[in-house]
Amino acid sequence: MSKQTSISAEFLKGLWEQSPTLRQLLGLCPTLAVTTAAANGVGMGLATAFVLVCASLMISLVRKLVPGQVRIATYVVVVAAFVTVVDLTMKAKFPAMSKSLGAFIPLIVVNCIILGRAEAFASKNGPFRSVVDALGMGVGFTAALTFLGGVREILGNGSLFGVAVMPADYDPWIVMILPAGGFFALGLTLGAANIINRWREQSALRAARVASAAKEA
Amino acid sequence: MKTTLHMLATLVVAGTLAGGSLSLVNGWADPLIQANQARARDEAIGFLVPGGTPEQVVDQAGLTAWRVTADGATSGWVLRCSGAGFQDKIDLMIALDPGREEIRGLKVLGDSETPGLGTWIRLSAEHEQALAAAADRNLGAAADDAKNFPLQFFGWGDGRRLSAAGDLVVVKGKKRSALGETEVQAITAATISSKAVVQIVNDAVTRLNAVLAEPGGAS
């Protein structure tokens, strides 16, 4: 029997090792489009995380009842229902945020993170583990979008969450809140994430060598 | 056959449960959404023509108009209209003087213009606060800035106000002190958005005048 990953590792993998944005490069369309401000990143991330958690739970619960031939169609119905709930709730309770995110809330239906986790994880694991996995992925996605939105808002508007953080004479880099700025910010962030990963791998390799040498000695 | 029935039953059950749940959520959310929209509309009317009671006089596709009355007399008109912008529809409100000869204000309610360029068609929160506090409803010299495009629709502070005859045109590179009553200075690098707003305003006032000129119109 294969060793099962601990619950904490299941959650933490979504934050860095398998971060949907930084490692798997999934859901990049909303990532580039809505991260013109940090608040948009938080809103989009939380909306996606909610749908991800609910859809993973539901799909995990019904995984043995759904015939394989219609599983994707069933998953899409489940995901679309939760996305519509989020869309209506945001319009009712957070109209300003809903207006700001525009069409990208309904488009969560086709966000590949959600169907990806449903197909790769929730359809093969129990409800508790599926929810933990979805929570980790949702938090990782929200963190990445908030970071990108924060960087773009600071450089492109001189503010963070709407509060001015740059000197009064700062001339905003408008390009950072334009689509091109999204690509710049994402590219540089992915580059930085790759460098950090390489450092971590080299450190782990060095530590393993030291441990091996100590054992031999 | 058994597999086909199983597949069919799965999809029917999933669709029915999803549809039923959404119907319940919609029943809860719809009144709140309607109330939010009505509140936003009322706040915009109150900002554009303060201190009066709006009465809806026109409700057509793409144009809604209110006559605002105070102390029994017309104190202004507010038009809600929409049209094509650079990327998507622009939804805005404009205010007219009681005689419908001058434009007294403009507020964009929704747009998808380019951030940092076309989005300058929106009135900033600071300007909205300042306008609400200004007795003569214009910020004068503050309008003399390429980024303050909507302030032109509130007047220049020297008596000049834009015409409400549907004859506005967009100009570029002209000194603001030399702008006429039919000329609107374009936003730098967002000429299409500027022209879109002017086109929507021209169409709306022309349509309103035509509707009110008809027999039984509210004028």
Q: What is the DSSP letter of B163?
A: B
* Closest CB to A92 among B14, B29, B112: B29
Contact A55, A135 (CB under 8 A): no
Inspect the interface and report whether the beta carbons of B25 and A178 lie closer than 8 Å. Answer: no
- Using a CB-CB cut-off of 8 Å, the residues of chain B touching A65 are 10
pLDDT confidence of residue A162: 85
Over residues A125-156, the pLDDT tens digits come to 999 999 999 999 999 999 999 999 999 999 99
Q: Which helix (H) or strand (E) holds B8?
A: helix B2-48
Rounded to two decimals, the ipTM of the complex is 0.76
Inspect the interface and report whether the beta carbons of B3 and A174 lie closer than 8 Å. Answer: no
In a domain, A207, yes or no: no
* Closest CB to A67 among B7, B29, B115: B7
- Using a CB-CB cut-off of 8 Å, the residues of chain B touching A80 are 18
Over residues B128-147, the pLDDT tens digits come to 888 888 877 777 766 666 66
Inspect the interface and report whether the beta carbons of A67 and B6 lie closer than 8 Å. Answer: yes
Inspect the interface and report whether the beta carbons of B40 and A95 lie closer than 8 Å. Answer: yes
Give the closest residue to B123 by CA, choosing from B207, B28, B32, B47. B47
Residue A74 CA to residue A87 CA, distance in Å, equals: 20
In a domain, A209, yes or no: no
Contact A37, A96 (CB under 8 A): no
In a domain, A121, yes or no: yes
Rg (Cα) of chain B, in Å, rounded? 22
In a domain, A178, yes or no: no
Inspect the interface and report whether the beta carbons of A91 and B29 lie closer than 8 Å. Answer: yes
Residues 6+ apart with CB under 8 A from A182: A31, A32, A33, A35, A36, A148, A152
In a domain, A162, yes or no: no
In a domain, A125, yes or no: yes
Q: Measured between CA atoms, how close is A60 to chain B, in angstroms?
A: 14
Contact B211, B66 (CB under 8 A): no
Domain ranges of chain B: 49-213
> Chain A contact for B18, CB < 8 A?
yes
* Closest CB to B116 among A80, A88, A178: A178
* Secondary structure (DSSP) of B89-141: EEEEEEEE-TTSSBEEEEEEEE--PPTTTGGGGSPPHHHHHHHHH-TTS--GG
pLDDT confidence of residue B138: 77
Residue-wise over A90-110: b if at least 16 C-beta within 10 A, else e?
A: bbbeebebbebbeebbeebbe
Inspect the interface and report whether the beta carbons of B116 and A174 lie closer than 8 Å. Answer: yes
pLDDT confidence of residue B23: 96
Give SS3 for B219: coil
The 3-class SS string of chain A reads CCCCCCHHHHHHCCCCCCCCCCCCCCCHHHHHHHCCCHHHHHHHHHHHHHHHHHHHHHHHHHCCCCCHHHHHHHHHHHHHHHHHHHHHHHHHHCHHHHHHHHHHCHHHHHCHHHHHHHHHHHCCCCHHHHHHHHHHHHHHHHHHHHHHHHHHHHHHHCEECCEECCCCCCCCCHHHHCHHHHHHHHHHHHHHHHHHHHHHHHHHHHHHHHHHHHHHC
In a domain, A174, yes or no: no
Nearest residue in B to A72, CA atom: B11
Q: Measured between CA atoms, how close is B18 to chain A, in angstroms?
A: 6
Nearest residue in B to A68, CA atom: B7
C-alpha to C-alpha distances, B150 to A76, B90, B155, nearest whole angstrom? 44, 14, 10
Report, as an integer, the average pLDDT of B35-48.
92
Over residues A64-94, the pLDDT tens digits come to 999 989 999 999 999 999 999 999 999 999 9
Domain hosting A26: range is 7-152
Domain count, chain A: 1
Q: Measured between CA atoms, how close is B163 to chain A, in angstroms?
A: 31
Inspect the interface and report whether the beta carbons of B114 and A178 lie closer than 8 Å. Answer: yes
Band (pLDDT 50/70/90 cuts) for residue B182 is: very high
Inspect the interface and report whether the beta carbons of A85 and B15 lie closer than 8 Å. Answer: no
Interface of B with A in 78-117 (CB under 8 A): 110, 112, 114-117
Residues 6+ apart with CB under 8 A from A147: A41, A189
Q: Residue length, chain A? A: 217
Q: Is the pLDDT of residue B88 over 70?
A: yes
Query: Which residues, listed in sequence order, are joined to residue B89 by a DSSP beta bridge?
Result: B84
Nearest residue in B to A91, CA atom: B33
Q: Which helix (H) or strand (E) holds B73?
A: strand B73-84
Does the pTM surpass 0.90? The reply is no
Q: Which residue reads 């169907």 in tokens? A: A115
C-alpha to C-alpha distances, B119 to A107, B19, B90, B147, nearest whole angstrom? 23, 38, 11, 10
Q: Measured between CA atoms, how close is A100 to chain B, in angstroms?
A: 9
Cα A183 to chain centroid, rounded = 17
